[in-house]
Amino acid sequence: MGKTRTIAGFVLSLCLAWGASRALAQGAGTLVITCVDSAGQPLKDVTLTVMSLQVQKVLEAKSDKEGRAVFKKLDSGVYRVIGRRKGYDPIAREPLTVVAEKETAVTLHFQTGEMTKKLYFEDPALIQQANQLLQEGFQALQQQRFSEAAEKLERLLQIAPGNTEARFFYGVALAQQRKWDEGEKQIRLAVEMNPNESRYREVMERLPEFRKRDELHEAGQQAMQNRDFKTAIAKFSELLALQPENTDVRYNLALAYANDGQYDKAIEIIDEAIRQRPQEAEYQRLKSQILEHKEYATIQKANEILAEGDQLLRDGKYQEALQKYETARQMIAREEPSIWFAMGRCYVGLQQMDKAIAAYRKAIELNPRKPEYHQALALLYLNEGRLADAIHAYTEAYTQLGEPVDERLFELGQRLIQENKLDMAAQVFERVLELNPNHAESYYELGVYNFYNADKGRARALLTKYVELGKDPKHLEDAKNILAVMERQARPRRR
């Protein structure tokens, strides 16, 4: 169900501030520059130029025998440092932050080469190219095109290896591609090159956390793909502990719980994500899907329990079957008539007739178009001697079946005669005549019943009507014979 959401931009939220003005405390700071060769030995007489990148201000000094030069009482701000010495390639470091009341220490590592080699900012064409690469690299980083950003910034560093801003963003671009070790190396270099830049330090300090988050996210997604939902839950839960306000993590965790069948927990988690970001349509869709799956799973489980109940009912274990039906009924949100009907059959088996009648009535109330519900209720009424209720229930059943009610009731009356329930049969035939005053055979049956039950007047009228309507030769002959007998019995005897 669903898919996990990708979580990007772990580092970007902290570091994309290139070009923003730096708010520095007012006052003077100290800059200590140490010059060493490729073997790490101090270099004396290196000409060092410190140039403000904010105001027109340039300072110069030479390194001492320890390779050090100290610039005191520098205004807080951002500077470029240039170092030149005969027999070595020149070095530039920028931007370098000086903070009031603090000492900033940097080390310049010189490589043998040509002192007169031009630095990029001394060549207008290279300046333009460097600025263009920095702009494009930063823009690609903002738009999360990390591979492109890394490529642009790497080219820039080949032109201006001392550009700490480019190195920092290059490290960020690598980290965003999950090249964590190389990204950390570049960001750490940026920190060493410009130790007073708070952005660099903050990202450097939090990089292990970002890496941990990313690894947890990747592990969670992989577990989801492998359908190892319990592992996914563990990973996303750990990630949520690190990022309690990240609603996408909540989305993924809710999805993992839902796939694991823990629907209530999934709904609880996605509800919190919706509370934090009510405008996010994807969260609402996931909740709808979870509710649908929960209902389906509940119905599936209820059906399994109902099947168990049906087997118990067939085995005559009515009380156990009833418990299964009750459990299933409570699991399903809407009332199911079939469950009530099955419960009625259990009550019949338990000889609890009032409860059986109530259950059958409930089933009929929920689905009056089911004839077998009416038939079962009618039979129960009939067995309980409640003939009027039984006739009403049979009438409803035959109506739902679309069968002729008068004929089906007549058949019921005949069955009652076979069971020697003559009085009940007579009531049924009376109901048939109410429904169909021209039902000939009911006149015959009622006529015979009344003849033998001493209501000769009623019998004469009924059988006379049958002679008019009837078609059964045997019954016509019987009717005429009975009428003749009654005629003879009615004549006065001779003395």
User: How confident is the model over 358-395, as pLDDT tens digits?
Assistant: 999 999 999 998 889 998 999 999 889 899 999 999 99
Q: Are 81 and 50 in contact (CB under 8 A)?
A: yes
- Order of strands, sheet of 91-98, starting from the edge strand that comes earlier in the sequence: 58-62, 47-52, 77-84, 91-98
Specify the DSSP class assigned to residue 1: -
Tokens 């009940």 sit on residue: 424
**Omega prior to 278 cis, within 30 of 0:** no
The H or E element spanning position 84 is strand 77-84
**pLDDT level of residue 12 (50, 70, 90 thresholds):** low
For the domain made up of 404-495, give the CATH fold.
1.25.40
Alpha helices for 42-163 (secondary structure H): 124-142, 146-159
- The predicted pLDDT at position 18 comes to 47
8 Å CB contact between 242 and 262: no
The Cα 5–Cα 142 span in angstroms is 20
Which CATH fold would you assign to the domain 28-115? Immunoglobulin-like (2.60.40)
Which residue from 264, 232, 262 is spatially nearest to 249, judged by alpha carbons? 232
pLDDT number for residue 333: 81
Closest CA to 457 of 424, 488, 483: 483
- Give the confidence band of 169 by pLDDT, cuts at 50, 70, 90: very high
Q: Are the C-beta atoms of residues 95 and 79 closer than 8 Å to each other?
A: yes
* Residue 21, pLDDT score: 38
The CATH 1.25.40.10 domain(s) of the chain lie at: 404-495
Residue 183 pLDDT > 80, yes or no? yes
* pLDDT for the residue 453: 85
Distance from C-alpha of 164 to C-alpha of 397, rounded to nearest angstrom: 90
Core vs surface per residue 99-123: b (16+ CB within 10 A) or e? beebebebebebeeeeeeeebbbee
The type of residue at 316 is: G
Q: What is the pLDDT of residues 436-453, one digit of tens each?
A: 999 999 999 999 999 988
**Amino acid at the residue 387:** L
Q: Where in the chain is the domain with CATH 2.60.40.1120?
A: 28-115
Q: Tell me the mean pLDDT in the region 263-269.
A: 95
pLDDT tens track for 34-87: 999 999 999 999 999 999 988 889 999 999 999 999 999 999 999 999 999 999
Q: Which residues pair with 52 in a beta bridge?
A: 79
Q: At what angle do helices 247-259 and 281-314 cross, to 10 degrees?
A: 20
What pLDDT, on the 0 to 100 scale, is given for residue 44?
Answer: 96
Cα separation, 255 vs 249, whole angstroms = 10
Nearest to 253 by CA among 280, 226, 288, 224: 224
Q: What is the mean pLDDT of residues 183-202?
A: 91
Q: What is the pLDDT of residue 89?
A: 96
- ∠ CA 182-186-188, rounded to 5°: 115
pLDDT at 473 over 80: yes
Task: Report helix, strand or coil for 94.
Answer: strand
pLDDT, mean of residues 468-495: 85
- Residue 2 has what pLDDT? 66
The C-alpha atoms of residue 170 and residue 181 are separated, in whole angstroms, by 13
Do residues 160 and 166 make contact, with C-beta atoms less than 8 angstroms apart? yes
